[in-house]
Structure 1
Amino acid sequence: MSQAPGHDTASVVDGTSRPARSGDGGGAEVTGAGWRHRLGAYVALTKPRVIELLLVTTIPTMILAQGGFPSWWLVVATLVGGALAAGSANVLNCYLDRDIDQVMNRTRRRATATGEISPRAALLFGLGLGVVSMAWFVAFVNVASALLAVGAILLYVVGYTMILKRRTPQNIVWGGIAGCMPVLIGWSAVTGGVSWAPVALFGVVFFWTPPHYWPLSMKFRRDYANAGVPMLPVVAKDDRVAREMVWYTVAMIVCSLLLVPLAHMTWVYAVVALALGVWFLALCVQMLRRAEHNNEAGAQKAKLYEMKVFHASITYLTLLSVAVCVDVFLPW
């Protein structure tokens, strides 16, 4: 995710150039590039790349629920509302985690960690996005989607950030429920409710989250350890982490295939879903084998393999979403 730089920016006051004060809440007059930088800092707090990944599952779910392509307005309205809700949750996460963000190399340049954006400003910004998201859903989508969006924000901010993240190695497992909510939101936007088909897709994203995020946590385990965050890769050996990734991946594949009878998918989707699942499972199994080599060479190879699995997980979810879309439009 692209982060706003933590260094001071230049401002022009009375014709002279000087550094703008960090964390002054906007008290200094900032012009030109300074305002653009400040706006970029606020946008970065919403974690745009995370939002992109969440919305990847929304459009295919809407297409599946409609049995075709929904109205463009409904799609745009749902994506805007979803982006606002996800942005709200991410900003509030940055507000609450600003203390540990300061000691993690991966996050120390966030504007809430550097003080470029004050805690009060971040809190108001996050709450404001949440209120606007709920109002947007009520006005332009429906009440069911609005309630699900509020539930997603609460799950991520309260359930994950405030309760689970600093207390349990299974934080990302249960906290990942918030990341599954766009599936239910997309379905309810079209139908006004939920059914078993979106629950199966919910299960795909739920079981996908640990093998997606744990490789990243393995790479940054020292950061998490320094911050006192007990991610599973921090408190457990690599072979245990990889073994759990394998089992979560198996459950993910099962959920992806349950969609065939529940949503009346064709054999085309079934073949693609199975092939993608086996491919990603093979990567996780290979990661487990590398982790089980309890020697320096094996450990080094496992380190090099972590980001490969992380990026592969994104590819898996993206291609599975494409398969859902394509299957809906097949003529048979």
Structure 2
Amino acid sequence: MTDTSIQTQVQQGDAGFSDFFALLKPRVMSLVVFTALVGLLAAPVPVHPFIGFTAILFIALGGGASGALNMWWDADIDRIMKRTQSRPIPAGRVTEGEAMGFGAFLSVLSVTMLWLATNWVAAAILGFTIFFYVVVYTMWLKRSTPQNIVIGGAAGAFPPMIGWAVATGGVSVESVLMFTLIFMWTPPHFWALALFMKADYHEAKVPMLTVTHGRKATRSHILVYTILLAPIALGIAATSIGGPIYLAVSLILNALFLKGAVDIWRRDETTAESDSYRTEKKVFGLSLLYLFGHFCAILLESGLRAYGVGGW
């Protein structure tokens, strides 16, 4: 038996905890946990710490279930794209059937337990989030339209609404605005990534905007969405979850993000390729700071209000 065949057998039969944990997309899960936690803590109704911890745990598992089912369905293109070839399924450490069963089990468990621990509204939104990400985005939109990330971005925007519903049992203007902030942020965030990862999407035949319309059109779309995003982000300052600190943070972050979008819009492919898409990578990193900064500001305003010093 050759060394290669021995290695293949080990890979296919030696899945460990770390491999199943990787199926949960821990980086994405961390964003889900953070924004859901902010939604929960920013809500006007206090939640017992144990209930809050339990809720966030099952929201995280629900997000992880979506990731596992996404990897199950996308195993074929994950084997093609360089940035995903090391994932558990294409690497041969976990089978597609194991990933599907794991994801399905966590989906049912997370929704059921969130319902029992909190309320049906939060559980229903979590269930719809999993359905939307797996069925609407992964199975339908991702491979059929360049608007995949625009519409599909809704799946990543629901967590703060779930956190808010855990505390209040409902939906409000504030939770919808947090949803909209993430929803409008998602396209420029992912398009910035797609600009310097176009080859991956092209090889996998995923109709990302960069593939179907080209980089020039993608740069224009990034600028338009960033301009539309700014008033939504700034508008949160006038609500019960905003305040002067949030407004100051939002003004700075939107100015930086708009500048980055303009810088990308002004680029040409010759310049971009010659410097390895340095500007695009910078804006992609800035987009992460943008979302993190806004939700940190909401969290800070919430903490100050708890001591009677936050808000307007």
TM-score by length of 2: 0.91
* One-letter amino acid of the counterpart of residue 63, structure 1: L
Return the offset for 1:260.
2.6
SS in 1 for 2:146: coil
Residue of structure 2 equivalent to 1:316? 290
CA positional deviation for 1:8: 8.2
Question: Aligned pair count?
Answer: 304
Between 1:54-63 and 1:83-92, the stretch displaced more is 54-63
Matched, 1:87 2:64: yes
Unaligned runs of 5+ in 2: none
Deviations 1:11-39 (Å, cap 9, x if unpaired)?
Answer: xxxxxxx6472575x4xxxxxxx5xx622
Alignment partner, residue 41 of structure 1: 19
Deviations 1:232-275 (A, max 9, x none): 11222323212211221122221122223332632222122122
Pair 1:100 & 2:45 matched = no
Q: Where in structure 1 do 4 or more consecutive aligned residues deviate above 6 Å?
A: none
Residues 1:199 and 2:163 aligned together:
no
Q: CA contact under 8 A between 1:201 and 1:255: conserved in structure 2?
A: no
Give the CA RMSD over aligned residues: 2.1
- Number of the residue aligned with 1:3: none
Partner of 2:303: 329
- 1:42-57 aligned within 5 A: 42-57=20-35
Find 1:120's aligned residue among 97, 112, 122: 97
Confirm whether residue 60 of structure 1 aligns to residue 38 of structure 2. yes
Q: How far apart are the structure 2 equivalents of 1:215 and 1:297?
A: 16
CA contact (8 A) 1:100 1:227 kept: yes
Alpha-carbon distance in 2 for matches of 1:200, 1:159: 22
Contact 1:8 1:22 in 2 (8 A): no
Further displaced range: 114-123 or 124-133:
114-123
Q: Is the counterpart of residue 159 in structure 1 residue 136 in structure 2?
A: yes
Amino acid at match of 1:104: M
Which deviates further from its counterpart, 94-103 or 269-278? 269-278
* Deviation for aligned residue 1:79: 1.5
Contact 1:218/1:234 (8 A) holds in 2: no
> Quick check: 1:300 aligned with 2:274?
yes
Equivalent position SS for 1:169: coil
Q: 1:329 to 1:42 in 2, by over 3 A?
A: closer
Residue in structure 2 matched with residue 30 of structure 1 by the alignment:
none
Task: Give the match's secondary structure for 2:33.
Answer: helix
C-alpha displacement of 1:152: 0.5
- Structure 2: distance between partners of 1:57 and 1:302: 32
228 and 70 in structure 1: CA distance in 2 versus 1, 3 angstrom threshold: same
> Could you tell me how far 1:162 is from its partner in structure 2?
0.6
Moved more, 215-224 or 184-193: 215-224
CA distance in 1, matches of 2:4, 2:226: 44
How has the CA–CA distance of structure 1 residues 287 and 220 changed in structure 2, closer, same or farther, with 3 Å as cutoff? same
- 2 CA distance for matches of 1:314 and 1:82? 21
SS in 1 for 2:100: helix
**Which residue of structure 2 lines up, in the alignment, with residue 233 of structure 1?**
210
Contact 2:69 2:104 in 1 (8 A): yes
230-239 or 171-180, which deviates more: 230-239
**Structure 1 regions of 5+ residues with no counterpart?**
1-6, 10-17, 27-33
Displacement after TM superposition at 1:155 (Å): 0.5
| Pairing partner for 1:171 from 133, 148, 154 | 148
Whole-Å separation in 1 of the counterparts to 2:4 and 2:33: 33
Is contact 2:129-2:158 (8 Å) kept? yes
- Residue 255 of structure 2 corresponds to residue 275 of structure 1: no
Identity within the alignment, % = 33
CA shift for structure 1 position 72: 1.9
What are the Cα deviations for residues 166-199 of structure 1, in whole angstroms up to 9, with x where unaligned? 1111101101100001011011000000011111
Aligned residue type for 2:153: G
Determine the C-alpha separation between the residues in 2 that align with 1:106 and 1:271. 36
The 1:181–1:264 alpha-carbon spacing in structure 2 relative to 1, beyond 3 Å, is: closer
For 1:21, the aligned partner's letter is Q
Among 113, 118, 121, the residue aligned to 1:144:
121
Matched, 1:253 2:209: no
Report how far residue 322 of structure 1 moved: 1.0
Report the Cα distance in structure 2 between the residues aligned to 1:231 and 1:327, rounded to whole angstroms.
Answer: 37
Structure with larger Rg:
1
